[in-house]
Every structure is written in structure tokens, then in C-alpha cells.
Amino acid sequence: MTVERARITVFDTTLRDGEQSPGCSMNQPEKLRLAHQLDRLGVDVIEAGFPVASDGDFESVKAIAAAVRRPIIAGLARACRPDIERAWEALKDAGRPRIHVFLATSDIHLQYKLRITRDQCLAQARDAVRFAKSLCDDVEFSPEDATRTDPDFLCHVLDAVVEAGATTLNVPDTVGYTVPSEFGDLIATIRQRVKGIGNVTISAHCHNDLGMAVANALAAVAAGARQVECTINGIGERAGNASLEEIVMAMRVRPDRFAYETGVVGDQIFAASQMLSEITGVPVQPNKAITGRNAFAHEAGIHQDGVLKNPLTYEIMTPQSVGVPDSKLVLGKHSGRHALGMRCEQLGYQFDRRALDDIYRRFVRLADKIKKVEDHHLLELIRDTHKPSGSATPLIEPIPSAKAAAANAPASSLPATNPPVPEPPKPFPVGPQTNAFGVPLPAHADPHHEQTQQEDYLWGV
């Protein structure tokens, strides 16, 4: 029986919240270019900007609304008439416009930032959504700093904006304060207590100040949220936003835990990541999940040996599933003979085991000094190791096929008899085998097979 998977709306805010990340501002052509890539990526909503913030942002939102027709195009507005009017002016030509209204609701924001009372906040939120609704059918409301807002007051505000016409209720963890179990409980409370909640979509907008943005977003989805707000590469204010690629791939790799689906086109993820990095000039951290350059790179010898035999030994998704061309075996001091031999073959050289041992010893000494061995280093090492004055171990070049060799050889040089049969390799010496706790393992029915397997494993690393 097929299990029905709930559809999660992916709301991308790279062009709005992501752009607020220091050093990540974009001009209109850059925003439009990235918006087209987000369209190819298959996101459901593109938050194109904050139209009242500047003339440039207004023009960018307007241009995206006119040019990108499939997804919903959203514009942000504070809960006041001038912001909402400016947002609508930028969005009105969109095929599917959305006005996104926000107002802080936590006591610390009301007292120190807005200097208004809870009652004033409630009235302002209701009036702003009602006005936005008079202009646009699709209105999203965000109670800023929701996770530090008194839950009773938060539910009162959400009651009011649903009655005023909001179609999406976004719950922002604005300062990255919450933890997954707590955030899930908050979403469940909203579902239970807010009137008319069955007619609106609950959304989650999580920041990464404690490194839990993706975990919090997934907890919200598990509790009933059906929209996630996220950015490419997780860029955004301070420590960033929940990462789009991590949320999407968590659902795809672990459908047993996250029985949800999105419209994101997986093989466009890496292209979007690279485009954003190129536009902003901000590189992706090497160990970034999914899109970092090390996400599908392997240096440890045991890992390289496993990946060469079956990539699933150390990769839980294929590189191609997110648009990365292929895995990379990085040659460094932790690499093994298996990966070194493979790279030598790719460069056009083959060695017998003794010759590769000779190369490997020199390779490890070099890797200790320079950290990462590039192809030109390896070629230089091969030439230096096997020049006449170097090791006596011969270099074995790629061998042409027997038929081609016979055709090219002079008749006088052809052997009159069959070549001698090479001596079979000696078994690799293996002592008594134990498990990880020191308990002796039963002897294998074929000792020679066991020794060969052990030899291949140890030699590979």
C-alpha cells in the first residue's frame, strides 16, 4: 500500500532575508537572474524583496513579478499602510502575488523597539492584514519573534489576523532561540487554539543562531506546518536561515521519518548554490551539507576504498541527485593505496603492487608537507620516483591489447612457446581474528579466501 505523502510548500527568501546577510546584497539584474534559477529549482514561493526598503528593491520586485510567472511572488511589508501600498505597487503585475505583512509580538520588541502595548499590537496587526487583503487575495502574516512571545497573546494575534483575511500564518523563530521539541509544541498549540486554522497554511521561518534552524523547521513540519521558509546555502541575518537544500534532502533521504514531498528539482540545487555564491562573492563553506565542496569528497583511505567499491558505503545520496557532477577522492595524508592507484590510472599510469608501494611511501611524506596533493604534484612524484637513478622498481605503462601488440610486433620477435605462468601471490599473513571486543571469530571455511579479502582491504587503505 502506498503511503500518501503530504506536500510541503517551499518558500524561498534568498532574495529578501538572504540578501540581508552582510556582504550578500544584489542588484536588479543579479536578483532577476537568481529568480529565474529559483524558478528552475521548482520553489513554490519566491520572496523577491522588501519594496519599501529602497527604490532598487522596489524595481527588483517589480521586474521579478513581471518576468517569473509560475511561482507565487511575495513582497515584504511592515504592518502599516505605506509599506503595504508600496508592496502591492511592486507586485500587482505578478501572475500570483502575495503580500507578506509582519509585526513583532514579543514583549521585548513591543517595549523597546516598537514602544506599543499588546492591545495596540493586536489592533495594528488586524488592521494591516485587513488592508492588505483589500488589495491582494493572498496575504501572509508573520508575528516577528514569535518564539519569545507569550503563547496566549500569540494565539490572540493569530485569531485576529485569520479573521481579517490572512491565508498563511508564518511562525518566525526570528533570533534562532527555540529548540525542536519546543517549536513543535508551539506549532501544535497554534493548531489547537487558533480559530479557523483549518482554512490557512501554517509556515515556519527559522534562524540558525544555535545551529538548529533546519531541525526546528523539520520539527514544525512534523507538528503540522505545511510551508517552510528557507534560503539557498542557508544565508541570512547573523548565522543565517534554514537551508533549503538541507530541508529538502532530509525529506528525500529519510522518507521513513519525513513522509513529505516538495516540488524542488533536486538536480538544480547545486546550480542554484553556485550561482548565488558567484553573484554575492561569498563562498560556500567547504563542509556545508549538500552544497559544500567537501560534501561528496573523501580523503580517508578506508572511506576511499569503500566508495570505490560501492559509493553507498559512505554516501547517503548520490552527488547527481543534487546536481553535483560526481564524488571526489581527495589525495591527502589520510588517503590509501587504492585511491592513489586509481588516480594514477586516470592519469595514464599503471603500477604493480610493489611499485605502487614505493610511490605510496613517497606520496605520504609529500602529503604531510603540502596537505593536498594535486595532479601536477603526483605526476612530478611519479617521474622523480621512477627516473633511472631512482627506484629500481619498473614503471608499468598501460598495456595495449594482446591483438594489437601481436599485429605490431615483428615476426622474429614472436615467442615460439607460451609465456611462463607467473608465480601465484603468497598469502598475506593474518593472525588470529577477533571482533571489536576481543572475542575470537570462527575460522573461515576457506582460509586462503579470508586472507585474500584481508589483504585487499588493508592494501586498499
In SS3 terms, 340-390 reads as HHHHHHHCCCECCHHHHHHHHHHHHHHHHHHCECCHHHHHHHHHHHCCCCC
Give the type of residue at 358.
D
- Per-residue confidence (pLDDT) for residue 325, from 0 to 100: 61
pLDDT value at 408 more than 80: no
Q: What average pLDDT does range 43-55 have in this prediction?
A: 97
pLDDT value at 39 more than 90: yes
- Per-residue confidence (pLDDT) for residue 458, from 0 to 100: 41
Q: Give the pTM.
A: 0.74
pLDDT value at 422 more than 50: no
How far apart CA 246 and CA 273 sit, in angstroms, is: 12
Angle between helices 180-193 and 151-164 (to 10 degrees): 50
Instruction: Tell me the percentage of the chain whose pLDDT exceeds 70.
Output: 73
- Per-residue confidence (pLDDT) for residue 304, from 0 to 100: 53
- In order of 143, 177, 178, 381, the CA distances from 148 in angstroms are 10, 8, 8, 60
Confidence of residue 415 (pLDDT cuts 50, 70, 90): very low
Cα four-point dihedral sign 400, 404, 405, 408: negative
How far apart CA 239 and CA 175 sit, in angstroms, is: 9
pLDDT value at 424 more than 60: no
- Per-residue confidence (pLDDT) for residue 291, from 0 to 100: 87
Q: For the segment 219-269, what is each residue's pLDDT rounded down to a tens digit?
A: 999 999 999 999 999 999 999 999 999 999 999 999 999 999 999 999 999
Cell of 23: 556582504
- Per-residue confidence (pLDDT) for residue 400, from 0 to 100: 45
Q: What average pLDDT does range 196-212 have in this prediction?
A: 97
Q: For the segment 327-378, what is each residue's pLDDT rounded down to a tens digit?
A: 555 566 566 677 777 667 766 677 778 778 877 887 777 777 776 777 777 7
Phi and psi at residue 207, to the nearest 5°: -105, 160
- Per-residue confidence (pLDDT) for residue 418, from 0 to 100: 52
Count of other CB atoms within 10 angstroms of residue 347: 11
Mean pLDDT of the chain: 82
> Are 221 and 260 within 8 A, CB to CB?
yes
Q: For the segment 364-396, what is each residue's pLDDT rounded down to a tens digit?
A: 777 777 767 777 777 777 777 665 433 333 444
